[in-house]
Chain A
């Protein structure tokens, strides 16, 4: 044996992710062993830049075999397995310190599995990836292979060496899932004794693909077969089962499962959270709040449970805020939302709720001041959210201010252009469109529409028409161009006959303009344009229906705002209305 730590990997067609992975372990490892199972892209090239020990392996449909082959090539005392789409977080000192001073044979490490964009949405499970390079420690199982260690006593846990599995591109993820389903289905025949576990893994893949019925069938089987002693598998099955039932709309059943199983696993925070979510969907906000509070009290569960990050704090706080909001308890809702933000500033959803709840008492200017003071608008995401909310409140001028404030020179963005447009600041809007088009290209639909609208609000119909015709030349944008051209013509007093195929986009596009005009502020012929859109849309039966629905949704929106503080006297402002 030479050296302390080998990093071992099996890879195939991972040119996108491999570099980042290798960068994360370069300093830590004494050697890196990469086994390629048949890449056709630049994977092996990238691998060879980092290490000499790159091997081609003929794939036989057996993950364990491949991994065990990799172990054979390792020369150090310890082996750490990573996948190409993972990174290791931890220092050289901490890892080496750990393995040099321990009597354990192997370590379970937390694996953060990111389930969405951003840094907050992830699950944590424990995986045994670090073990001594000894002949009896080999992988078993053709898929979802595990290191075979009979005596669990010799396995330790290290919380400060974290494996991060990145979110990845959706098309790749789904491809991987389909491939896994195929392999797992085959394995069902080969290893009937592991049927329950295999069904669990199958269920996970189906769930990932959004096929809830298939996922449910798999999980239901696993649920019935799995022993309570298989804590990780059974508890994870329970959660997934609840998720399936929720997706299928079977809320009562989902709740029943939660209630049953929280008695079995009283320490499993995530189950209380899931129960709360179901209750929230059932509109039982008081009870849901109680469940979320229990989740908070229970805290982070031990590593044996699959844990969604945040159920013990920011996610539960957020939902508590939401429940209070719907119960008409504004002050309490604000408190919970702020606690959520304090627990995790990167999870920005509470900002929406907080704004709405505070907005029932405070003016937009006061809200901006408060959000800035509390640091909620410190990062870009927060500023974007605030801008969005201010626009929805009908203050595009303030939204523009917020989105442009700290940067000099001002960073161009679609949103900012829209805010300039609807606050009557047409020169700025056009300038921003030009700047963005330089980067994003001349055929960007959103930018073109913004520019055309500018000219329409300026009542420069000729330029608007010219731009519409320009847009028309790009085939995918044609329908949108027709819509805007119809509007331009009608503003000039001419009716344009529109082909059937363009009607849906026409109605959609003009309705969007009406919605945005209703949020406008300042000088500009917004009302004129909006009225014209209305006229055009009502020419079509479908359009009239859409308009009626639009008014209804505006009404609902205002009723909801009043509900926040005055739910008890709902009868005073909700009456049977036209268009119902």
Chain B
């Protein structure tokens, strides 16, 4: 069998290098490691595997370093790996076969990029040129994203380059715990800028520069580079290797810039060449959703999910034809007010990737809105197996965020029982207990954290709130007295004053900043969950008119959630009067009228909403629901007034069957 040299360039890779070198034991004949200045134990680790270490002073060019390793290589073939890569064990046979081929000069090798978090990592397949014959003419070029293929093709334009399908390299350098600092991006940008100066027309370098600029979130400049790279480029040939990724990047960059129509142009262009490219379908879906063409958007996401295993050169992310697309399809369903269908898609996404918490949040949000606690409990139990304490906490926290305090408490207690005893769990648990009138337990829990410097304020504050909800004015004063000793900002003090306020006490009207208003809303919502509507009224009575006007929409939302329709309506009029948030306010007013069974009035509001924003499907769908209701009312009246007409009875029966 022909001899193989493994060549590597490293610096400070003591953690990874062992795994890499262990994976090629027995299949390569020599190991060349060029070290560009390690300060850790990298060299020692490498030497323990029998590697030949070469110290190399960094010249600022990756090509120089790699060429140094080539100079020292004696094997007939050269294989390049990075320290954060390893060869799949079953690839040894493939490697033997590859180097045994007499007519092939070099190989592209499939590479699996592992990224995301360690519990649920994801894979992205790509393909890289890493194995070739060791000839003196074959040398790397380029200070960054160095290429050796150019020199090989120059020697013989008809050279035979193949893809070694039964070799796989794994690269785990993108895993969350492995990702290096932002400095790397800047370093790369500098090097690429330099390389562009030297090779301003090199399309591959332009692509890489564009990619790095994208990573640095400099989208305008990225687009400029990418367009230059694309100009005159053909899909086939050596450029074919990065052409798909170039198109995808162009779509993504335009999407980030909000230039959705242009992005769509590139989507169509890309799909014409690569009609099975799932990522492009996915981004097409995103663009069309941004353009509010939901029908087309849905179609694209659906197509993304229907695509099969993607070719390596696409560098495709499996999530694009999986859970991420399902998620967006769910979002579109919600745009049409169809929570049931949406739930189905979120579930599909979540089942595929149980770490996809965003989907779980939506699922919980929809379930909780459906109100019946028992059903939610059962549904949740069916949907996610919360084996670990972490998982129980995650679900509990989400339920807590949705203010489903009873269920949240159950999950949080389970998390504690399973061993998770952090401040976050316990404080949330305490709040839940407070909402359920288990005051003593709640206070006891909070007291644990009053002793703790980090959580002092939060614990004390929540104690005050619980006392406030229990109408214990004395304890409210007591607790807040202690709290006020800590230097607190004005808004926080204002909120505390509101809690302490005695009925006839007048200390002027209050206004709050947006972030402090959030705190106040949290308190008010907790009060409403507790049935303390009078308290809420009293607090709001003390707020400045300007604040009320600014937050009118939030207030409508709040009252609507707890079915306090008259108050909600009052704030609706305030909102409409001050001419802000027109569309949302009109929708809410329609919802309020609908809940009051005043369907004619509701249609008026929905029609006005439609007029205000004809691009959103929401108003249309709500109008449809209203006409449905009106139809039903008419039908009932018809049955009443004309009891001998069979047709009406039959139609009504049909309706009741559906419900």
Q: Which of A1-9, A92-100, A175-183, A526-534 contacts B (4 or more CB under 8 A)?
A: A526-534
A477 at the interface (CB under 8 A from B): no
**B623 neighbours in A (Cβ, 8 Å):** 558
Instruction: Say yes or no: A544-B631 contact (C-beta < 8 A), given A363-B613, A568-B299, A572-B336.
Output: no
Distance between Cα atoms of A167 and B341 in the complex (Å) = 57
Which residues on the B side are within 8 Å of A565 (C-beta)? 292-295
- Whether B642 lies near A394 (C-beta < 8 A) is no
| Docked pose: A551 CA to B638 CA in angstroms | 14
B residues 3-57 near A (Cβ < 8 Å) are none
Given contacts A518-B603, A547-B634, A555-B628, contact A393 B617 (CB under 8 A): no
Are A554 and B620 in contact, CB atoms less than 8 angstroms apart?
Answer: no
Whether, in the assembled complex, A395 has its beta carbon less than 8 Å from a beta carbon of chain B, the answer is yes
Contact partner, B634, options A530, A548, A569, A576, Cβ 8 Å: A548
Residues A555 and B600 in contact in the complex (CB < 8 Å), given A361-B615, A538-B634: no
CB–CB A567/B651 < 8 A: no
**CA A257 to CA B621, docked complex, whole Å:** 44
User: Could you say which of A559, A568, A580 has the most chain B C-beta atoms within 10 Å of its C-beta?
Assistant: A568
Given known pairs A360-B615, A518-B603, A579-B651, the reply for A544 and B637 (CB within 8 Å) is yes
Does B615 lie within 8 Å of A578, measured CB to CB?
A: no
Nearest opposing residue in chain A for B612, CB measure:
A363
Question: Which residues of chain A (286-306) have a CB below 8 Å from chain B?
Answer: none
Q: Which of A393, A570, A576 contacts B658 (CB 8 A)?
A: A576
CB-contacts of A528-580 with B (<8 A): 530-531, 534, 538-539, 541, 544-545, 547-548, 551-552, 554-555, 558-559, 561-562, 565-573, 576-580
Chain B residues with CB below 8 A from A531, complex form:
600
Nearest A residue (CB) for B302:
A568
Per-residue CB contact flags for chain B residues 634-659 toward chain A (1 = under 8 Å, else 0) read 11011001100101100100110010
Inter-chain contact B295/A567, CB cutoff 8 Å: yes
Chain B 266-302: CB-based contact to A (< 8 A → 1; otherwise 0): 0000000000000000000000000011111011000
Q: Are A572 and B642 in contact (CB under 8 A)?
A: no
Contact of A541 among B617, B635, B645 (CB under 8 A): B645
B328: min CB distance to chain A, Å: 12
Tell me the bound Cα distance from A477 to B634 in angstroms: 29
- A148 proximity list for chain B (CB < 8 A): none
| Given contacts A362-B614, A538-B638, A572-B333, A578 and B294 within 8 Å (CB-CB) | no
Q: Which residues of A contact B638 (CB under 8 A)?
A: 538, 541, 544, 547-548
Distance to closest chain B CB from A542 (angstroms): 10
Encoded as 1 (CB less than 8 Å from any B CB) or 0, chain A from 472 to 508 comes to: 0000000000000000000000000000000000000
Asked whether B364 is an interface residue with its Cβ less than 8 Å from the other chain, the reply is no
Give the distance in Å from the alpha carbon of A561 to the alpha carbon of B645 in the complex.
34
Given contact pairs A361-B614, A548-B635, A578-B655, A566 touches B294 in the complex (Cβ within 8 A): yes
Q: Is A359 among interface residues, defined by CB-CB distance under 8 A? A: yes
* Nearest Cβ on chain A to B648's Cβ, whole angstroms: 7
Contact with B631, one of A328, A359, A567, A579 (Cβ below 8 angstroms): A579
Q: Are B630 and A551 interface neighbours, CB within 8 A?
A: yes
Contacts of B610 in A (CB 8 A): 394
Interface residue SS majority, chain B: helix
Complex alpha-carbon distance, A555 and B635, angstroms: 15
Contact A568 B296 (CB under 8 A): yes
Q: Which residues between 17 and 71 of chain A lie within 8 Å of chain B, taking CB atoms?
A: none
Residues of chain B from 334 to 360 with CB closer than 8 A to chain A in the complex: 336, 338, 341
Residue contact A555 to B641, C-beta cutoff 8 Å = no
Chain B residues whose CB sits within 8 angstroms of the CB of A394 once the complex forms: 607-608, 610-611
Asked if A402 lies at the interface with its beta carbon under 8 angstroms from chain B, I say no
Is the Cβ of B614 less than 8 Å from the Cβ of A359? Answer: yes
Q: Provide the residues of chain A in CB contact with B654, threshold 8 Å.
A: 578, 580
CB distance from A254 to the nearest CB of B (A): 32
Task: Contact check, A559 vs B624: say whether CB atoms are below 8 A apart.
Answer: yes
Given A363-B614, A551-B631, A578-B635, does the pair A569, B648 have CB atoms closer than 8 Å?
A: no
Which listed residue, A393, A539, A559, touches B611 by the CB 8 Å rule?
Answer: A393
Residue A364 is within 8 A (CB to CB) of chain B in the complex = yes
Contact B631 A578 (CB under 8 A): yes
Check if B333 sits within 8 Å of A573, measured CB to CB. no
Per the bound structure, the CA–CA distance linking A579 and B650 in Å amounts to 10
Contact A544 B634 (CB under 8 A): yes
Min CB gap B649→A, angstroms = 12
* Shortest Cβ distance from residue A531 to the other chain B in the assembled complex, whole angstroms: 6
- Asked if A568 meets B298 with Cβ closer than 8 Å, knowing A527-B604, A573-B621, the reply is yes
B302 nearest CB across to chain A (Å): 8
Which B residues touch A361, using CB under 8 A?
Answer: 292, 614-615
Docked pose: A309 CA to B449 CA in angstroms = 87
Are A538 and B294 in contact (CB-based, < 8 A)?
A: no
Residue of B nearest to A527 (CB): B600
- Assess whether A395 is in contact with B627, with CB atoms less than 8 Å apart: no
Task: Report the separation of the CA atoms of residues A568 and B332 in the bound assembly, to the nearest whole angstrom.
Answer: 12
- Given A394-B607, A569-B298, A576-B658, are A538 and B637 neighbors across the interface (CB < 8 Å)? yes
User: A205–B604 Cα gap in the complex (Å)?
Assistant: 51
Q: A566 contacts which chain B residues (CB < 8 A)?
A: 293-295, 336, 617
Judging by beta carbons under 8 Å apart, are A548 and B614 in contact?
A: no
Query: Is the beta-carbon distance between A573 and B631 smaller than 8 angstroms?
Result: no
- Tell me the smallest distance from the CB of A572 to a CB of chain B, in Å: 4
Shortest distance from the beta carbon of B133 to any chain A beta carbon, whole Å: 53
Return the contact of A573 from the options B293, B612, B617 (Cβ within 8 A): B617
B601 lies within 8 A of chain A by Cβ: yes
Q: Is the CB of B642 within 8 A of A573?
A: no
Residues of B within 8 A of A393 (CB): 611
- B228-265: which residues lie under 8 A (CB-CB) from chain A? none
A25 to chain B, nearest CB (A): 54
Out of A359, A364, A554, A569, which one reaches B336, CB within 8 Å? A569
Residue of B nearest to A579 (CB): B631
Inter-subunit contact A554/B611 (CB<8 Å): no
CB pair A552–B631 under 8 Å, yes or no, is yes
Residues of B within 8 A of A364 (CB): 611
Give complex CA distance A565, B298 in Å: 12
A577-B600 in contact (CB<8A): no
Using known A-B contacts A559-B624, A568-B298, A568-B299, determine if residue A551 contacts B634 with beta carbons closer than 8 Å: yes
Q: How far is the CB of A580 from chain B (nearest CB, A)?
A: 8
B286–chain A nearest beta-carbon distance, Å: 16
* CB-based nearest B residue for A514: B600
Chain B residue at minimum C-beta to C-beta distance from A330 = B293
Distance to closest chain B CB from A369 (angstroms):
15
**A508 CB to closest chain B CB, in angstroms?**
17
**Is B558's beta carbon under 8 Å from chain A?**
no
A252–B298 CA distance with the chains assembled, in angstroms: 35
A363 touches B651 (CB 8 A): no
Neighbouring A residues of B604 by C-beta, 8 Å: 527
Q: How far is the CB of B340 from chain A (nearest CB, A)?
A: 10
List A contacts of B631 (CB < 8 A).
Answer: 548, 551-552, 555, 577-579
| B620 touches which of A328, A518, A530, A561 (Cβ 8 Å) | A561
Contact partners of B642 in chain A: CB under 8 A: 541, 544
Residue among A328, A552, A562 with the highest chain B CB neighbour number at 10 A: A562
- Tell yes or no: B632 within 8 A of A by CB: yes
A541, B648: Cα distance in complex, Å? 9
Contact A578 B600 (CB under 8 A): no
Digit string of A127-153 for contact with B (CB within 8 Å is 1, else 0)? 000000000000000000000000000
Assembled-state Cα–Cα distance A363/B341 (Å): 29
Residues of A within 8 A of B641 (CB): 538-539, 544
Q: Which of A554, A567, A571 contacts B627 (CB 8 A)?
A: A554
Known contacts A541-B645, A569-B294; can you find 12 more A-B pairs with CB under 8 A? A534-B634, A565-B292, A565-B294, A566-B617, A569-B333, A572-B332, A572-B333, A573-B336, A577-B628, A578-B628, A579-B631, A580-B654
* Cross-chain pairs A/B with CB under 8 angstroms, 14 sampled: A360-B614, A544-B634, A544-B638, A548-B631, A548-B634, A558-B623, A558-B624, A565-B294, A571-B341, A572-B341, A573-B617, A578-B628, A578-B631, A580-B654
User: Sorted from nearest, which 7 A-B pairs have the closest CB atoms?
Assistant: A568-B295, A566-B295, A544-B638, A551-B631, A572-B336, A579-B631, A578-B631
